[in-house]
Chains A and B, each alone.
Chain A
Amino acid sequence: MYDALVGPFVEFGFMRRALLGCLAIAVGATPVGVFLMLRRMSLTGDAMAHAILPGAAVGFMVSGLSLGAMTIGGLVAGMLVAVLTGVVSRTTVLGEDASLAAFYLISLALGVMLISMHGSNVDLMHVLFGTVLALGNDALVLLCSIATATLLLLAAFMRPLVLECADPTFLRSVSRLSAPTHFAFLILVVINLVGGFQALGTLMAVGIMILPGAAARFWSNRIGGLLVVALVLALGASVTGLLISYHHGLPSGPAIILVAGSAYVLSLLFGPVGSLTARWMNSRQTFFRRAVP
């Protein structure tokens, strides 16, 4: 048991680094994912994950596989797409969903094109699927910094963020914090995706953000409960995914996301709040209450 669960992390430095990186991503990205879900913006997170690709590609073209350049590039591209989406949806007939879809598709195609033109397929795979087993000190510092900044910003904006999610009209009527809250939240989404793509790649980073939050919705009816359950699931998926990847020689990023996905499917089936089983049992109880006066 020790060899299976602890041994790989004790024996190999790259596994310890991967573990620390994944835990940092989980701590930062999971609460952001919970609020994305509560704001019905889960697909926005997915789109933004694709939108950062051309920025990372430009960083790659300028400095190769440089962490700083790719991070700054991704951040700029993500914020640019977020701002352009907002401007188009507020000034034209196009809605926010269609506007975001248009920009992220353009971004994705542009990013793949740039990397293909200036790098190899291996480079492209690194950007798309991450290099969780090759995280350096710089990457770990970045991931831990992003997690810390995320927790601090969320603590500062928690109340207006909850209001913005639950009743945005009310927040606008009592405070001017609506727009700053929305913008701060978008920044959190983008920096966590940028951090996530270092380890999991642009295609997988959004998975650790969204899946634990979606799974947690079947376990709790309170925001605090959702955040705790989502974090536990994300941490568990990170550790389990890395171990499965190590023992079976599988790619780490997809292994972590598949474990998180399994947690989601199990929660969907058996969670106590609004899952298929919970709803079936409720309808059964209602039926018997009606049948037996």
Chain B
Amino acid sequence: MSAQVALEGVTLGYERQPAVRRLDVAFPAGSLTAVVGPNGAGKSTLLKGLVGELQPMEGQIILPARSTAYLPQQSAVDRSFPISVAELVAMGLWRRLGPFGGLTRANRRRIAEALAAVGLTGFEHRSLSALSGGQMQRVLFARLLLQEADVLLLDEPFTAIDSRTATDLLGVIGRWHEEGKTIIAVLHDLETVRTRFPTTLLLARDLVAHGATSTVLTAENLMRARQMCEACADEDHSCGRPANRPWRM
């Protein structure tokens, strides 16, 4: 049984400027939730708060920290770093191995299985610099697989990758969901959200709506979210960047 994630009156922000305000949200165990909203709505900030990169300015986050895996929006992986694909994926075993544990034969088999699950069999010894953007994202998903986390936080996992890779990785997310993991993914493509994600959280710095995707992604809610973000931008509000990026419908 995977854990539940809950935010109780949480405000998150940067340098005392709130980017997400007074969120009261609960993600049930085993739920598959898309977080959507205009640019600057605080979606990535929300995930950073959940993963502990940002401490709440107020409120409380309830989350099983030891079993959380996080895929950031722009991975900080140095692609020129001289390690192989298998070595990067092996990092996912950190909680099992720690700083000193050795790679056993069983662990090597798990690495091979994780790479096979994302369609990268035979890529074990390749350098990171030799991978395309889509292949790199598959590698990061393989690392997530090895983390065996109950809660998975994915920040725009399909940005700048080809459609086939996106489809394959959506399949991986679907399998995680079937295994009962709690998944929270920031997404921009509303069509993907409508077809693949049963639950959606619509954010515009404040909570706009949270619930079944069909009831959240209404024209009225989307317009309201956009207006809320534009109002923040017009007022030179602390909300941050202007909301000028349209959703892909």
Contacts and interface: CB of A to CB of B under 8 A. Distances in A.
A220 B82 CA distance: 8
Interface stretch (A17-25, A71-79, A169-177, A252-260): A169-177
A224 to B, nearest CB: 9
Nearest to A174: B94
A168 B77 CA distance: 8
Contacts, number: 59
A221 B127 CA distance: 8
Nearest to B99: A159
Interface of B: 51-53, 68-70, 72, 75-78, 81-84, 88, 91, 94-95, 99-100, 127, 143, 147
Interface in A141-180: 156-157, 159-160, 162-163, 165-170, 172-175, 177
Contacts of A172: 53
Given A220-B82, A222-B82, A168 B76 contact: yes
Contacts of A160: 99
Interface in A211-234: 217, 220-223, 225-226
Contact of A165 (B70, B81, B84): B81
Given A167-B76, A167-B88, A221-B127, 16 more contacts: A38-B78, A38-B82, A156-B99, A165-B78, A166-B81, A166-B83, A166-B88, A166-B91, A169-B72, A170-B143, A172-B53, A173-B51, A217-B82, A222-B82, A223-B83, A226-B82
A220 B127 CA distance: 11
B81 A170 contact: no
B91 A170 contact: yes
Contacts of A221: 82, 127
Interface residues on A, range: 20 to 34
21 contacts: A38-B78, A38-B81, A156-B99, A159-B99, A160-B99, A163-B91, A166-B78, A167-B77, A167-B78, A167-B91, A169-B53, A169-B76, A170-B77, A170-B91, A173-B51, A173-B52, A174-B94, A174-B147, A222-B82, A222-B83, A223-B82
Contacts of B100: 159
Contacts of B91: 163, 166-167, 170
Contacts of B78: 38, 165-167
* Among all A-B residue pairs, the 10 with the closest Cβ atoms: A169-B76, A166-B81, A174-B94, A167-B77, A173-B70, A159-B99, A221-B82, A169-B72, A160-B99, A221-B127
